[in-house]
Each structure stands twice: as C-alpha cells, then as structure tokens.
Amino acid sequence: MHASSPLHGASTGTTFTRQTCRRELTVNDATVELDPVVEERRWSARLIGWVVVLVLANRVADTVLTTPQMVTSEILEHFGTNQVAWLNSSALLAGAIWSPLLAKSADIFGKRHVLLITLFVAGAGSVLCLVAPNIGIFLLGRLLQGSAMAVVFLTVALTRQISAPRVAMTAIGIVTSASAIIGIVEPFLMEPLIDRFGFQSVFVVSVALAAAAALCIRLFIPESPIRSNGRVDVSGALLLGGGLAGVLGYASLGQDLGWLSGGMIALLVAGVAALAGWGILALRVDEPIVDIRALSRPLLLTLLAIVLAAGSFQAVIQLTDLIASVPPELGLGYGLKDAGPNALLFAAPAPGIVLGGIFAGWLATRIGPARTLLGGIAIGTVGTLTMLAGVSSFPLAVAGFGLLGTAAGAINTSGFNLATGLAPPERHGVVSGLVSVMLAVGGAVVTVAGTAVLNATPTVIDGTPQNSATGMYLYILIAGILFVLSTVTAIVLVRKRFAPRQAPRSAEAAERAPGSTAHRITPSPRHRAPRSSAAGGSARTRALRLTAGIGGMLLAGVAVFFGVQISTAGDGTALLGYRQVAVGPDQERVEVGALLGSVDVVVPDGVRARVAGRVVFGGTECERACSEPGREIVVDAVGAFAMVDVMRPGEILADEREQAREDAEDARERAQEARDDE
C-alpha cells in the first residue's frame, strides 16, 4: 500500500486522502469513502466513449419529454379525452418536482448512481404509458417520465467531475448539445413506426433508449469522485418542486384552461405559497435542499442572465409554427406559408444548437465561460432583431432561427460551465439543477408574456380572428429587450469575475475559474382573439419594418467594420484559434486581430506597450509590458469574442514551464495508475 498524501481543498475546506486508488472525503468531521479516482485530463478514446454514452442519456430525456407530443391526437382519441393541456404538460410539471430531490441526492449518493435510478424511473414511466388501460394510469406514467428532466443536469455534473476542467468544458458542450441534431431526423424515423404500430411505438422507443443508456452507464461510466455528507431535506424538496410545478403549471395551462379560472388561480396561489414556505424553511434548517445563504453574487447573476436569455430564445423559437402557418396573401405584414419548405424553418435551430454548444465549451477553455455566455447572449440578441424582418422574409427567418439555435447551445453550455465553476464540487448537482430549472422557468414565463401581447393586439381578416403584425413585433421586441437586460447582466458578471486574468493557464487555475441538451421547443398553439378592424395596421407595420431595417443596417455596418479591421490586421489574425505574435526590436506599431480566438503579443524587454483598439465581447490584458519603462510601442488590437494578451518573454516562458510541469505530473500519475492496475 502506497503512502498517503493529503491534498487540502483551499476553497471548500475538503480534505482528500489518496491510498492506492481510493479516496476519502472529510466534510464537517464526517468521512465518506469514495469510489476509485477516475479523471480524464485530456481527450482520449475512453473520454470520447463516456461522452457518447452521456449524449445517449440526454437523448432519452428529449424522447421522453417531447416526442410524445408528436402523437397527442392519437392518445386523446385512444383514451377518449380532450385534456390536451394536462397531457402535454404533465411530464414538465413532474420534472419540476423531481429536479430538486434528485439534484441534492446526486451530491450525497453520487451522480452516476442517481442517474441510473432516474433512467430506471423514466423507463418505468414509459412502460406504464405503453400498457396504460386508462388516462389515469397514463398520466401516472407521464409523471414518472418527468424525472428524465434531471438527466440533463446529472450528466453535466457527472462530466464535470470525471474529467479535468481543461476538457470538461468542451465535453459539457457536446453532452448538452449533440443530441439536438437527432431532432432533425427524428420525425422521419418515428413517423413510419407510428403509422405502422400506433402511438405506443413512441414509448417502446423510450423504454429501449432508457435501457440502453442505463446499461452503457452501468458498464462504462465511473462514479463521480466527490460527494457531500448529510441528508436530503425531503420537505424542502417537495415544497420547492411543488412550488415550481404550480408556477410552471399556471404558465403552461393557463392559455387553454383560462388564466382567471378558479382552478388556475388556486394552482398559482398554491405554487407561490409553496415557494414562500420553502424559502422560510431553507433559512431555518441546517441542510436545506438549496442553501440560499451559500448562493454567491456571481452565481445569482449567472442564473439571472440564464433565465432572461433562455426565456427570450425559447419564446421566439416558439413562433415558428405561427409564422409558418400564415400565408403572406392575408396581408397581415407577416407569414411565410408556401414561401419555402417549412421543414427548413423547424430544422434551422438544431445545427446551431450543436455548433454553438460545442464551440462555446471549447472556447470557454481559452477565455472562460462567462465570456462565452456573453457571446451567446449577443448572438441571441442579433438573431431576435433579425426576426423583426424575418417574420416576412424566408431567408432572414432561417438565418434568425439559426442564430437563435446557436445562442441556445452557447447559453446552455456556458450556463452549466459557469455555474458549476462557481460552486464547490460537492454542490455541483444542486447548482446544475438550478440552471436546468432556470432554463425551464424562463421559457414558460416569457412565452406567457408574449402570448398575452398577442391576445391583446388581435385583428380580424375576412371575419376570422388573426394575430396582428403589431402583436407579433411587440412579442419579438419584448424578447429583444430581455436579451439586452441579459447582456447587461452578463457584462457585469464578466467584469466582476475576470478582473485579474481571464484565461486559465493551468488545470488548477481552470478549476478555480468557472466551468439541455438544448431541448427542442414544441411550438405552442396559435393564439387568436377577435379584433374589430385591421385599419391602421399597415402604418404601424411600415414603421416597425423601417425600424427593423435601420437596426439591421446598423448591425450589418458594425459587423462589416469589425470584419474588415480584423481580417486586415497586418501582423497576425487569430480566427477560431490561437496565435502568437512577436514584436521586433525596431517596430513602433503592431496590428493584431482576433475573432473567436486569442492572441499573445510578445513584447521584448526594454519596450513599454500601449494598447489601442477595441475587442468587443472580449478583452485585452497587459500587466508588466504596459507598466515597465522603455521605448513605447502601440499594440492595435481589434476583435470580437476574443482575448488579446500583451506579455513579456519571461511570462511566456513561465507559462510554458508550468505547462511542461503539469504534463510531466500527468505522465507520472498515468504511470502510477498503470502500476496500480497491474
């Protein structure tokens, strides 16, 4: 047996003791023996296999929560009911109840262990739905299926703890985003099965996927190496989950059942009362389900930015069905029916979700997840403003939905990475659960607000009530305003979080720095209400189109301006990557550009640098090179979503030595692990 070496966690007071291949966790004088330490420090065949398995698990969540909506009419006919609202919302509401309980349990009992239980419960729910003899048993199955909502944040927390920070951020991007691409082909795969075997085939596929994912996780995925002690506050979990379910239920069901009906008012009041009760309880018990007192200001800012941004992009994407079903010939000022293939509109966000999520994870290892979150929000803002003109232009609509998909992937990935990086490892499950809940709450609340605007601004065409162009543009503008507020929040977060140095240079620094599947959004039914006349709508439409055109031209002009400056930088440009530029002894000016990348400018000793130019949604850093005396040189840095560091050769050399030391330490650890395995 090898000699033990204590490693003390400075931020959490946690002590790890390594003996052979096992660890013990000591928290509050209680010791818990953990599973063998398994952590991938770089991309390998094993890590790729783990990511594939976790992507499969997230596909289970999508299949369980959203795919049954493809067969809603068949289910209603089979059970002889018209309760479509409860049928579609039951799993989401159940997920809100399950999430707090499963998140806290994961931190105590292990993420892998709770993930397996979650997949089993979701699979059991699918079996109940498959064999249900009546609507009551079917809804019970949907309540069990709702536990799959926790799969997303459990896979994020597990990924964070079984891989080193330098690879975990990219891996989380893949885990949360990659399954969205399957949503493009899913209708083409499921429709033949539904036609041949009926709506039950959806639940057969759910059972098969849940079983396959659980088996792969059991065989290949290691348990999370860090757990907390304590107990699960069941009362707090039920109050928090029940309160969230009440508020989300009101937001989801109010349109169909009546916002001011007795049942809906009672549901909302009960939800608010439960949340208030949970807040009081959380301040009184020693181990609450979510410790409000431990929520730091950066984490609260992160959750605020996520809920605002998630609500905005989900609300706008839900307009797809409405826009695609209105013919331009009605003269409403919007509508894309027969203007192009509707399938392209519905599929446009999916590639963006995948690319945005994966790229945001990769870029976070260079510039930090706070900046990638800000970048995703900025892309979402542009996509939302594009939709002001996109509601009547098919190419712009495809572009707008594509940008919103990219924003969704980047915001989801960056939100999970940043939140888990701001919390100690023993609370990764709870914090990931909070991010997942914010994504759901934001979408529901903003959609309700947008729906209210549509219902308040109707028009009548040929005796038929229709949504007006005024309501449509106001709906989009509300989402744009919320994106702007989210941008401000993210900017505050970036400035607070990255005062000294943004890009971590080592695994240890990355651990200190911040770390849904992006769920496909099912378009809501068209919301129509009567209106007396369409007179005056054309004038408003022209004014709004003019505003959108001017805004679009300004955005295009800014994009072209920065694009030209970045691409024409004379001394070096980093595009989607890294570049190092060495300053010559006689140079007086250096021009560098960066777009979604980073540049290191190496200034020789005896020369003092002065940084000019501007990096939008990024930053520049110059410590010794800008403060030490010497001949002045101007570093003209222009870029977007990027980082420019002005450094001395000694700083570069120190970073290279630190990297070499870490690589050597990694090699020694792998060799030791190989000897222990023998």
What 3 state SS string does 344-406 have?
HHHHCHHHHHHHHHHHHHHHHHHHCHHHHHHHHHHHHHHHHHHHHHHCCCHHHHHHHHHHHHH
Across the range 27-42, mean pLDDT stands at 52
Domains in the chain, please, with CATH? 1-34 (no CATH), 43-89+106-224 (1.20.1250.20), 296-567 (1.20.1250.20), 572-647 (no CATH)
Would you state the pLDDT for residue 486?
93
Q: CA 316 to CA 439: how far, in whole Å?
A: 14
Would you state the pLDDT for residue 557?
46
Would you state the pLDDT for residue 331?
79
406, pLDDT greater than 90: yes
pLDDT-based confidence at 436, cuts 50/70/90? confident
Would you state the pLDDT for residue 596?
74
69, pLDDT greater than 90: no
Across the range 484-503, mean pLDDT stands at 74
568, pLDDT greater than 90: no
Higher per-residue confidence, 396 vs 620: 396
Would you state the pLDDT for residue 363?
92
pLDDT tens-place string over residues 322-357: 888 888 888 788 888 888 887 788 888 888 999 999
503: phi then psi, degrees, rounded to nearest 5? -90, 120
504, pLDDT greater than 90: no
516, pLDDT greater than 50: no
pLDDT tens-place string over residues 164-211: 888 889 999 999 888 877 777 777 778 788 888 888 888 999 999 999
457, pLDDT greater than 90: no
Q: CA 67 to CA 76: how far, in whole Å?
A: 15
pLDDT tens-place string over residues 625-643: 888 888 888 888 877 777 8
DSSP H or E stretch at residue 613? strand 607-616
Would you state the pLDDT for residue 146?
86
Across the range 462-484, mean pLDDT stands at 86
Higher per-residue confidence, 613 vs 592: 592
Q: CA 242 to CA 270: how far, in whole Å?
A: 8
Q: How far is CA 76 from the centre of its chain?
A: 33
Tokens of 334: 């919007």
Q: Tell me the average pLDDT of the chain.
A: 78
Would you state the pLDDT for residue 497?
58
pLDDT-based confidence at 535, cuts 50/70/90? very low
pLDDT-based confidence at 359, cuts 50/70/90? very high
Would you state the pLDDT for residue 29?
42
564, pLDDT greater than 80: no
Higher per-residue confidence, 466 vs 372: 372
Percent of the chain with pLDDT over 90: 19
- How many other C-beta atoms are found inside a 10 Å radius of the C-beta of residue 345? 21
Across the range 487-515, mean pLDDT stands at 58
pLDDT-based confidence at 25, cuts 50/70/90? very low
118, pLDDT greater than 90: yes
Higher per-residue confidence, 652 vs 219: 219
From the number of C-beta atoms within 10 Å of its C-beta (0-12, 13-18, 19+), residue 554 rates as exposed
113, pLDDT greater than 50: yes
From the number of C-beta atoms within 10 Å of its C-beta (0-12, 13-18, 19+), residue 6 rates as exposed
pLDDT-based confidence at 305, cuts 50/70/90? very high
647, pLDDT greater than 80: yes
Would you state the pLDDT for residue 463?
72
Q: CA 356 to CA 351: how far, in whole Å?
A: 8
Task: Give the ranges where 498-602 is alpha helix by DSSP (H).
Answer: 507-512, 537-567
3-state secondary structure of 508: helix
Would you state the pLDDT for residue 319?
85
Would you state the pLDDT for residue 356?
92
Would you state the pLDDT for residue 489?
92
Q: How far is CA 311 from the centre of its chain?
A: 12
pLDDT-based confidence at 565, cuts 50/70/90? low
Would you state the pLDDT for residue 570?
64
Would you state the pLDDT for residue 379?
95
